[in-house]
Amino acid sequence: WTLAVLAVLSSSSCQSPDSNRLEDAGIIPIPSAISSASGVFELGDDSSIQLMGTSEDLTRVGNYLADKLRPATGYDIPVSSGSGDLILELTDGEASEKYSIEITSEQVKISSTSAAGLYYGMQTLIKAFPVEIENTSKVDVDWVLANGTIEDEPEFAYRGAMLDVARHFISMEDVKHYIDQMGSLKFNYLHLHLSDDQGWRIEIKSWPKLTEIGGKTEVGGTEGGFYTQEEYSEIVDYAADRFITVVPEIDMPGHTNAALAAYAELNPGVNLPDGDFATMTEGKIDFDILDKNPEPAELYTGIEVGFSTFATNKEITYTFVEDVIRELVELTPGPYIHIGGDESHVTEKDDYIYFVERVQEIVTKYGKKSIGWDEVATAKLLPGTVAQFWALEENAKLAKEQGNQILMSPAKRAYLDMQYDSTSRLGLHWAAYIELDDAYNWDPATYADGINKSDILGVEAPLWTETIASRADIEYMAFPRLAALAEVAWSTNERRNWEDFQKRIAQQGKRWDINGIGFYRSPKVNW
């Protein structure tokens, strides 16, 4: 009988631990509620996807799920509105990102009032399958899901990641690869930092030298690059297919050396009545240096910040800004234009405020809302302008007092360019060393004094690229921290738990290994 008991024990221990409870599937970000039932659903070579409801987006989500499941299983998995054991159901009601999943031995059903919700449900479902589902060729695995239900919805409406494509240009292929990872972690905004001292990365047809000259180089003096408008649109569409909205940033009035190198007339100086030009020295007109135009700036390939500024007191600057914003708006379906506004250390305070107020007006004129780094809150904000908190709590408070919302990107927690510790092969550490648990263990709603949940639009993880030059570099800095920040943005603080995350991220690590993603093997995790 001992053998019989052992046999029972070992067969039940195959069923229950790790692999067969939905709670242990390693889903990141952690869903709002998971409950397990007994038994399993098994995908088979006769499995198929049924779409309930009509929308192009629904078809796309169905095809995406099939494409994800086919390679590793080797099954056909047809997609149709006929019948199927994997059901995507678009239900009536006000569209929201909320979804539910019901898994029984007979079928799996994902329901949501929006295609975006179904997409998030699908991403959760993929993570509930054995990690081998990530393989791109057939593997021999039982494709089982534990029975149970999942109810889920995001905590914050804006869940963002930023790529600084200005310090080091990032290729289309690498941007798309990053977008794929963002989608699997349920991010919904991609902020592209398109201009800085070291480079201008978006074609502007009315000011062609921005990219011809300003796009030439990057940090370290290597060849830069830029996106044509067609390429930018391709990124916008690629992101939109994954329910991600692009937020383009033109950083100004500081961080503008690349533009100042391309167009001399944007450099500080004043127009004289006869059409001549005088440069400014320490805020005063220097009549000894009369010139038709100021000199263009030299291209810059170092990593200092805070030395450049547009001429905030010349009309040509606003003509320029309006042209740039108009062209960007035409290419950008999303609601936001990011106007930068950080570290304008050589712009006089009054000039800075005048500039930020005028640029917000331009953004509004073209039907969009502005986002700016937290310094913009020292100016009068228009309704709807969002202040992106990165450094100064008092700026976040100024925004709140004006009735504006805050996007949380505290440098000490959310900056993906910060080193993990003093031995990290890449990264900076001016704000902090950020190990995986530091990136995970903070609550946006209590992080900044006086800023509460209702003041917060969301959370964004910026990746600055002064030290980051390749896909391998991006992966080493972004993973695993991007997954931690995804959970900070999506899941409630009550649901989050570091010990539990440690286990789930180890499973995610196995997926990244199969995907060939070279993540940082944090010593805080038993990979």
Q: Which residues bind ligand TNX (CB under 6 A)?
A: 305, 342-343, 373, 390, 415, 417, 428, 464, 466
Cβ pair 290, 169 in contact under 8 A? no
**In terms of CB distance, is 154 or 458 closer to ligand TNX?**
458
**In terms of CB distance, is 343 or 348 closer to ligand TNX?**
343
- Among the options 231, 343, 357, 393, which is catalytic? 343
**In terms of CB distance, is 125 or 468 closer to ligand TNX?**
468
Q: HSE on the CB side for 210, CA within 13 Å?
A: 25
Cβ pair 504, 461 in contact under 8 A? no
Residues 6+ apart with CB under 8 A from 350: none
67 class by beta-carbon count within 10 Å (0-12 exposed, 13-18 middle, 19+ buried): exposed
Report the nearest approach of ligand TNX to the CB of residue 308 (Å): 11
**In terms of CB distance, is 20 or 424 closer to ligand TNX?**
424
**In terms of CB distance, is 300 or 390 closer to ligand TNX?**
390
Eight-class DSSP state of 456 = E
Cβ pair 470, 439 in contact under 8 A? no
**Is the N-terminal amide bond of 29 cis, ω within 30° of 0?**
yes
Q: HSE on the CB side for 17, CA within 13 Å?
A: 5
Nearest to 474 by CA among 417, 390, 414: 417
Residues 88 and 461: their CA atoms lie apart, in Å, by 31
Residues 6+ apart with CB under 8 A from 515: 134
151 is catalytic: no
Report, as residue numbers or ranges, the catalytic residues: 343
